[in-house]
């Protein structure tokens, strides 16, 4: 009885070992490419090589199968180095932009970097140059001690700092018959220049002039038109006029003043207003 049971177990094991396991080499696999796209590919089933046929006994001169040298079995995939280098150069001008469209789908499209660079170089300047015929010598009567009384309260202008310059009816005034409204800044030792931005609101801006003073407060240079560029208004900011000036030897103080007391039209098509704000940036 025990022998019969053992024989039955052996037979069962033999049957289980001979059952087919199925083809596990075929199916689908999913991966994410370099552009972030989800790619699904079908896996090709592995090809099982059949055993070579035995030569017939009647064949007198059987052919011998030629075996390719090691490492030469993928000749179809070989590409010359020059071709690969050319493809890499072309890819330098190819980029992809990925975004979610209105349907919620992830979209990836190629971006021609060569065309983008050419368009950027051909694009017009973001500003309009303020018309100027060069330097013109002007005359404005100012007292030599026009701003001495404001030196003690002068705001220090450092390199990299931004200062909001506001003008209204209560602004300090110069000494003299005209009494122009003015703001005085003391220039830090490391300051090499400055940038002045005047905002344009409803075609009106502060048409200020600049007066440089020495260490004693004596005027040494007058700039009646400090602006050279005009930036248009955008959806996130006002338009503004901008000027950049370099600091010269002997200049210790800067006076920003309004050379008029009433609102008036300017020669540039804008309105010169008496109240508003500017931004003074040290360099």
Residues 77-99 pLDDT 10s:
667 888 877 777 766 666 677 77
Which whole-number Å values give the CA distances from 255 to 118, 147, 225, 247, in the listed order? 44, 8, 14, 13
C-beta of residue 221 within 8 angstroms of C-beta of residue 209: no
pLDDT above 60 (res 125) = yes
Flag the least confident range among 1-5, 32-36, 115-119, 271-275: 1-5
pLDDT given at position 103: 83
Closest by Cα among 153, 162, 135 to 253: 153
Work out the number of other CB atoms within 10 angstroms of the CB of residue 235.
4
| 104 backbone φψ class: left, alpha, beta (φ>0; ψ -120 to 50) | left
- Can you list the alpha helix ranges (DSSP code H) found in 63-173? 81-92, 113-122
Residue 11: band (very low, low, confident or very high) from pLDDT cuts 50, 70, 90: very low
Q: Tell me: the pLDDT tens digits for 147-182?
A: 999 999 999 999 999 999 999 999 999 998 889 999
Residue 76: band (very low, low, confident or very high) from pLDDT cuts 50, 70, 90: low
C-beta of residue 26 within 8 angstroms of C-beta of residue 45: yes
Share of the chain above pLDDT 70, in %: 69
pLDDT given at position 55: 54
This prediction's pTM: 0.57
Rounded CA-CA distance 161/280 in Å is: 8
Q: Tell me: the pLDDT tens digits for 12-71?
A: 444 444 444 444 455 677 777 777 777 777 766 655 555 555 555 554 555 555 555 555
**Domains plus CATH for the chain?**
148-282 (2.60.120)
* β strands within 102-238, DSSP E: 106-112, 128-129, 155-157, 162-167, 182-187, 193-200, 204-205, 209-213, 219-223, 229-231
Rounded CA-CA distance 96/94 in Å is: 7
pLDDT given at position 9: 41
Rounded CA-CA distance 88/44 in Å is: 29
| 27 backbone φψ class: left, alpha, beta (φ>0; ψ -120 to 50) | left
Closest by Cα among 264, 262, 283, 254 to 182: 254
Across the chain, mean pLDDT equals 78
pLDDT (average), residues 250-278: 92
pLDDT given at position 79: 72
């Amino acid at each position: 009885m025990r022998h019969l049971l053992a024989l039955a177990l052996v037979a069962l094991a033999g049957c289980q070992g001979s059952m087919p396991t199925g083809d596990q080499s075929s199916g689908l696999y999913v991966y994410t490419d370099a552009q972030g796209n989800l790619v699904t590919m079908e896996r090709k089933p592995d090809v099982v090589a059949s055993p070579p046929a035995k030569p017939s006994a009647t064949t007198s001169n059987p052919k011998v199968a030629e075996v390719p040298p090691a490492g030469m079995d993928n000749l179809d995939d070989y590409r010359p180095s020059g071709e690969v280098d050319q493809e890499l150069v072309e890819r330098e001008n190819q980029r992809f932009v990925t975004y979610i469209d209105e349907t919620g789908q992830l979209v990836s499209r190629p971006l021609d970097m060569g065309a983008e660079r050419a368009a950027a170089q051909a694009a017009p300047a973001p500003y309009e140059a303020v018309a100027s015929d060069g330097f013109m010598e002007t005359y404005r009567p100012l007292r030599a001690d026009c701003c001495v009384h404001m030196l003690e309260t002068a705001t220090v202008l450092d390199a990299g700092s931004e200062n909001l310059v506001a003008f209204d009816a209560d602004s300090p005034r110069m000494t003299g018959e005209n009494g122009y409204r003015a703001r005085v800044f003391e220039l830090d030792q490391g300051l090499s220049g400055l940038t002045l931005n005047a905002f344009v609101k409803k075609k009106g801006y502060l048409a200020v002039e600049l007066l440089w003073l020495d260490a004693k407060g004596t005027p040494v240079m007058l700039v009646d038109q400090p602006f050279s560029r005009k930036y248009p208004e955008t959806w996130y900011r006002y338009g503004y006029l901008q000027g950049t000036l370099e600091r010269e030897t002997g200049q210790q103080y800067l006076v920003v003043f309004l050379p008029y007391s009433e609102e008036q039209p300017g020669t540039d098509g804008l309105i010169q207003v008496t109240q508003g704000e500017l931004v003074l940036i040290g360099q």
